Structure 1
Amino acid sequence: MTTSVAGPEADLSTTVPAPGRPAAAIDPGRVADLIAQLLVELGEDPTREGLIGTPERVAAWWSAFLSPDDAATATCFTESQLSDQLVIVGGMSVWSLCEHHMLPMNLQVTAGYVPDGEVVGLSKFGRIARHFAGRLQVQERFTRQVAEHLIGVIAREDVAVAVRGVHLCMSMRGVRMEEARTTTVHTGGRFGTDPVLSQQFLTVAAGQWGAP
């Protein structure tokens, strides 16, 4: 189940690029030329002091941002004594880009699962979040992609992911509401059927986010 709480705006494939992924390798030189053209169209002189080298820097950033590290193979550790323990990993903050306005959004991610005989290496959670954030995105899709990847890692549906986003497309344009936050929640397996487990996860997630 996926739940979204938002203001007014709020899989990896080998054959067809997933949403938000570049269809081909990025050509930094070509991107730099386009940025220089954009500066001219905006009434700027890309050869003036202060803008010299800017197109190349912007192109290098785009190339790096849209080429994040792979989510990598999960490292799992056997823990045969575990039983009905809730594991929650929070404090993960990643940057992504709204695909509707190409403006940044900061996503605070909290993920939880119920282990069964083994635990997932903690650094895996951060790598998954960074992987799916490094593209043109929408928060709702990002939340689902992180959850689905974790489901594949533990081979069960007992996964919950909550994401709280600050969207510059809402903060600095349009309604310009700087305090607006968007929350998306994906719950599966026992998180969808056990209200106590679900509430435990949501309480911890909300506590890690703190005040708006």
Structure 2
Amino acid sequence: MTEESEAAGGLGPDPLEDLARRLLVEIGEDPDRDGLRDTPARYARWWREFTAYEPGTIETLFETTSSGQMVVVSDIRVWSLCEHHLLPFNCSLTIAYRSAKHLLGLSKFARIAHRHAHALQVQERLVSGIADEVMRITEAPDVAVIGRGEHLCMTMRGIKTSALMTSTAFHGVFEEDSTARSELLALIR
């Protein structure tokens, strides 16, 4: 019996482990063979770790030193799962904002990105959710998030070709002013 089933009062096998065992049988494998014996427990632990991700504190703010300064954090790498196929995708994120009242602590950008990535996702919602949360925390109306991701649902199945998908969420000056948007895009090239 696993820790998860014991934690549930020892009522029986872990449902995620049972699901993994059934999946192995359905694809023609023997879940009791040496290499697979512990796979159902690992599978269950991984799913719980992924869905129960806790990013820690994300709202550490500092007083701004100069209002309107552009802050850009680039190449934040996250992994998520495509909600259509349950296959992974990795995404490199750039988050930018023009400071208003507050500066967001540097590590908080990655914590926010990972918090949104640890769910069944589509890249467009991932990028939009991150932008909305940065706007909420910083109270800055000028926020941009750019995501470039490779989706294994395209690379491993279907067309079986790798490609990068880019999605954006532009708010405030980044949406309304092509000069500000061009400045941002030039910075991240």
* TM-score, normalising length: structure 1: 0.80
Structure showing greater radius of gyration is 2
Deviation of residue 118 (structure 1)?
2.7
Provide the aligned C-alpha RMSD in A: 1.8
Structure 1 CA distance for aligned equivalents of residues 16 and 68 of structure 2? 51
Structure 1 CA distance for aligned equivalents of residues 49 and 13 of structure 2? 10
Secondary structure (helix, strand or coil) at the match of 2:28 reads coil
Tell me if structure 2 keeps the 8 A contact 1:170–1:177: yes
Q: Deviations over 1:17-67 (max 9, x none)?
A: xxxxxxxxx998110011101111111110011011000001100100111
Tell me what 1:125 maps to: 109
Structure 2 CA distance for aligned equivalents of residues 28 and 160 of structure 1? 46
Aligned length: 179
Q: Which residues of 2 match residues 36-47 of structure 1 at below 5 A?
A: 36-47=21-32
Structure 1: 5+ residue runs without aligned partners? Answer: 1-25, 208-212
| CA spacing shift, 1:74–1:96, aligned 2, 3 Å | same
Q: Give the partner amino acid of 2:41.
A: E
Structure 1 CA distance for aligned equivalents of residues 100 and 76 of structure 2? 24
| CA spacing shift, 1:28–1:132, aligned 2, 3 Å | farther
Tell me if structure 2 keeps the 8 A contact 1:71–1:131: no
Structure 2: 5+ residue runs without aligned partners? Answer: 1-7
Question: Are residue 189 (structure 1) and residue 135 (structure 2) matched?
Answer: no
Secondary structure (helix, strand or coil) at the match of 2:168 reads strand
Tell me if structure 1 keeps the 8 A contact 2:102–2:139: no
Structure of greater relative contact order (alpha carbons < 8 Å, 6+ residues apart) = 1
Q: Deviations over 1:145-183 (max 9, x none)?
A: 0000011011132100000010001111111112x1100
Bigger helix fraction:
2
Structure 1 CA distance for aligned equivalents of residues 95 and 174 of structure 2? 12
